[in-house]
Structure 1
Amino acid sequence: MSRLLMLVLLAAVPAAAQDAPDGEPDALPQRVRSVLLYGEDTCPKPTSPDEVVVCAKVGESPFRIPKSLRKSEPGPGGTSWVRRAELVDEVNRATLPGACNPIGSFGQSGCTLQMIQRWKAEQREKKAEEAAIPGGED
């Protein structure tokens, strides 16, 4: 029986703690205002006793991406698959056919191709020089 009485008294203690000293319960605020602060902003004062102002500092500017979310130098995880494939092609180009490289299969074909392209460019230059000379034909 004494345990039951103690249990009832302990259950009533939180209810008694909520009452104000004069016996009336505390009144809840009528208005709660949440404010986000940027940079050097200060928290505004409540306009009435029934108002509660909750302030939170969130960063430098409302128009800037927070430093924690800004990207730094892109690592391998941030590189697109297209760029990764291009890098593999650039690295392997030295050993592919048509590369003019003694390493890899059929590399000499690239050397022949480069010589032909240089010869063709020289022929175009000669024609352009001959066309630029006035009165070259009699």
Structure 2
Amino acid sequence: MLSTLLFAALIVAPAPAQDGGTQDGPPKRVRSILLYGDDKCPKAESPDEVVVCANAGESPYRIPKSLRNQPNEGAAAQAWTNRVETVEEFNRAGLPNSCSPVGIGGQTGCTRAAIRQWYQERVDAKAKAARTTAPAED
């Protein structure tokens, strides 16, 4: 009976540290280092120190590849048909289905304009996400 109790106490008791270190709490010093190119991670100066290294790319002075050569999203980069549609929509103020506070039929196109804008924002967001996740070439 006594051996069974002793065996159960050993199973329930927490296991001692495997490396036999004397440290009971967190490390006294933690160094975070960004490495560029082929830099090597430095060794810890003492047993109470932890060194954390992360590779940050080619050089600290270069723009990361994922951010290079982003396409222009301004008016000049839009297709000609999109620019024409924008001008025509602006000139339709006051006409039916134009979503304008001017004229007798201007309010009738507001819902359609809101749905069109929502759909276009979704398409633009998907295109932008595809451009940022695709690997950029030099």
- TM-score tier by shorter-chain length is 0.3 to 0.5
Which of the two has higher C-alpha Rg? 1
Larger relative contact order (Cα-Cα within 8 Å, sequence gap ≥ 6)? 2
Q: TM-score when scaled to structure 1? A: 0.41
